[in-house]
Amino acid sequence: MAGHSKWANIQHRKGRQDAVRAKLFSKFSKEITVAAKMGDPDPDKNPRLRLAIKEAKAQSMPKDNIERAIKKAQGGDAEDYEEIRYEGYGPNGVAVIVEAMTDNRNRTASNVRSTFSKNGGNLGETGSVGGHVIWCADTDLGEVATALEAALGESDSTKLVWKPVTTTEMDLEGMQKLMKLIEALEDDDDVQRVTTNFEASDEIMAQL
Domain ranges of the chain: 2-74, 82-207
pLDDT, tens digit, 9 for 90 and up, residues 155-184: 444 456 777 888 888 889 999 999 999 999
Partner residues linked to 196 by β-bridges:
96
Q: Report the share of the chain in percent with pLDDT over 70.
A: 75
Domain 2-74 fold is Arc Repressor Mutant, subunit A (1.10.10)
Assess whether the region 2-74 and the region 82-207 belong to the same CATH fold.
Answer: no
pLDDT > 80? residue 14:
no
Q: Does domain 82-207 have CATH number 2.60.40.10?
A: no
Mean pLDDT of the residues in the chain? 79
Confidence class for position 147, pLDDT limits 50, 70, 90: very low
